[in-house]
Structure 1
Amino acid sequence: MFVTARDGTRLHVEEAGEGTPILFIHEFGGDHRSWEPQVRFLSRRHRCVVYAARGYAPSDIPTDIDSYSQAIAAEDALAVLDGLGIDKAHVVGLSMGAFATLHFGLRFPERALSLTVAGAGYGSEKAFEEHFRDLSRQVAANFETQGSEVFSRIYASGASRVQFQNKDPRGWEEFANRLASHSNVGSALTMRGVQARRPSLYDLEDEFRRMMVPTLVMAGDEDDHCLQPGIFLKRTIPASGLSVFPKTGHTLNLEEPQLFNTLLSEFVAQVEAGRWTPRDPRAIASEIMRTD
């Protein structure tokens, strides 16, 4: 089915299961199909919703760069909930989808039961901020000049993707083949309009400190440019927890689906039981040992 975003863009939506809703938001290199291991597991107890972001078929692919931005990505997630008549949902995002999840929590906290933020951080580290923007524009150009079918093999072999390839060659091949089928136009405009222009997470520190939505942060220990941002989010968002996956790269939910599903389902259960609360004020970060 399709829902319609505020500007008229149609977004392809699929759902399975019944129960408390969980909305999944995919990464740049993936699409709505990337969440299949999670939907198959969690739809036994939850209403699981996935959608293809604008620029990803079968959703519409606008050709104007102003139709792509970080703010629009968060608004599209809200449009999906509204289109399905869902008042509140647990929101789960990976990478680009994790940024959208965080911005959803900042802008629409009353619609989020919880936030799961996996593999968030690219472009946020101040030392690499401008370098990331330059790389994003180069990646966009490569999709335009080489095409998805060719450039997908290069993109899928990045420093934080080879872990997936080494552990699960068939799963990685499926990921790379799906990326090869993506729209050249949609991929380039998403990279330019969303990735290259989004704010650093560090620039949102004051807003994160005020965000009280229960949040689970996940990162792979070999996803180097997400590790420090993950620790930053843990130290900044009041009701947050951090899980680091050993010997793992960027594609967390596909690379380690069982671990991802276990942690996510336990997190959701704790939130729904009212047990995922802000950090105990006695747990003072600067204290090493108490002496009086």
Structure 2
Amino acid sequence: MYHFIDAAPGVRLWAEERGSATAPPLLLVMGAQTSGLGWPDELVDALAEHHRVIRYDHRDTGRSTWAFDQQPYAVTDLAEDAITVLDGLGVDRAHVVGMSLGGMLTQLLVADHPDRLLSATLIGTSALSTTPYVRPDGTHVPPEELPGIAPHVLEIWARPAEERGPEGELDARVAHWRALAGDQLPFDAEGARALERKIIEHTGHHASSTAHGRADTSGMLRTEELAKTEVPTLVISAPAEPVFPPPHPQHLAQVIRGARTVEIPGMGHALPREVLAPLTAAILDHTSVLDAPQDDDAVRGRR
């Protein structure tokens, strides 16, 4: 079941629900420039066996409104869009899973809207905090000195946007996913191409947006709020991650009060089939413990 939800004058967000309407809600928040369909159906369906799963298209992706040049916004506005989706679907509180930029948006939700979250799961992201990382030997590392984005990924991101035609655009997207996937698992080029073809069909055109890269990034630090939060938080550690490699996950677990890490073997900055089962298990292990003692309308969401 899908919906369109008004986020601002002239801006609508596409959202989809799967699973029982009475199950605990779980909101999936994708990364920059990526449609909600970037969450593989296999993962969504596995989570939907236990949750009312909601995924949505950010502004300037998928079927949501593309209007950044006419109505520019900040990254913090994208976090507020996630709350708008919950409001539009009548959900009081939800488990939230965020990947990449979506992990940063989820941190903003943890800090600014803790009353709306049952839990948070962060994948492939970095801490919105100025707190140093403390190595096992006790030395302190400022966040800006943690490992940066791999050069081969930066090179792809630095290329100017251009019209390539549908098949050329698919080639570029597959090459991008190959770079993001890391080097510990075999890369399924045909699977990546099929997913991107589906996203293009869903969107209705093959253009790629640069809006999220141009959005205002000011006002995103939440050092104090993350340090004192009571939102149960799981951090996924991906050993082949080329964007926010270890120890970024360990740093996140240090700056977010009570957070813990789970490593997914072979995982990079992507969601290939090989990581879906262990990732699903980690997320459900996190959410099921929190849902077990609760069985009221506030947890399930209101219709």
Name the TM tier (shorter chain). 0.7 to 0.9
After superposition, the C-alpha distances for 1:40-60 in whole angstroms (9 at most, x for unaligned) are 112222211111111112111
Give how far 1:211 is off: 1.7
Q: What is the match of residue 269 of structure 2?
A: 250
Letter in 2 for 1:26: M
Letter in 1 for 2:226: F
The sequence identity of aligned pairs, in percent, is 25
After superposition, the C-alpha distances for 1:73-99 in whole angstroms (9 at most, x for unaligned) are 110000000001110000111111111
Q: What is the match of residue 279 of structure 1?
A: none
Q: Residue 28 of structure 2 contacts residue 98 of structure 2 at CA under 8 Å; is this kept in 1?
A: yes
How many residue pairs align between the two structures? 268
Give how far 1:156 is off: 2.2
Q: Does 1:240 align with 2:242?
A: no
Distance in 2 between the 1:162 and 1:178 partners? Answer: 23
Give how far 1:215 is off: 0.5
Q: What is the match of residue 230 of structure 1?
A: 249
Distance in 2 between the 1:65 and 1:156 partners? Answer: 30
Q: What is the match of residue 152 of structure 1?
A: 173
Give how far 1:136 is off: 7.4
Q: Residue 63 of structure 1 contacts residue 189 of structure 1 at CA under 8 Å; is this kept in 2?
A: yes
Q: Residue 30 of structure 1 contacts residue 178 of structure 1 at CA under 8 Å; is this kept in 2?
A: no
Letter in 2 for 1:33: L
Q: Structure 2: 5+ residue runs without aligned partners?
A: 130-142, 295-303
Moved more, 41-50 or 165-174: 165-174
Letter in 2 for 1:143: A
**Which structure: greater helix fraction?**
1
Q: Which has the higher contact order (CA 8 A, sep 6+)?
A: 2
Distance in 2 between the 1:231 and 1:239 partners? Answer: 12
Distance in 1 between the 2:156 and 2:189 partners? Answer: 27
Q: Counterparts in 2 of 1:1-292, with a 5 A limit? A: 1-18=3-20, 19-28=23-32, 30-35=34-39, 36-64=41-69, 67-121=72-126, 125-127=143-145, 139=157, 142-144=160-162, 148-149=169-170, 151-158=172-179, 160-163=180-183, 166-177=186-197, 187-193=209-215, 197=217, 203-224=221-242, 225-252=244-271, 254-273=273-292
Letter in 1 for 2:257: P
Distance in 1 between the 2:237 and 2:72 partners? Answer: 29
Distance 1:129 1:107, change over 3 A: farther
Q: What is the match of residue 280 of structure 1?
A: none
SS for the counterpart of 2:210 is helix
Give how far 1:251 is off: 1.1
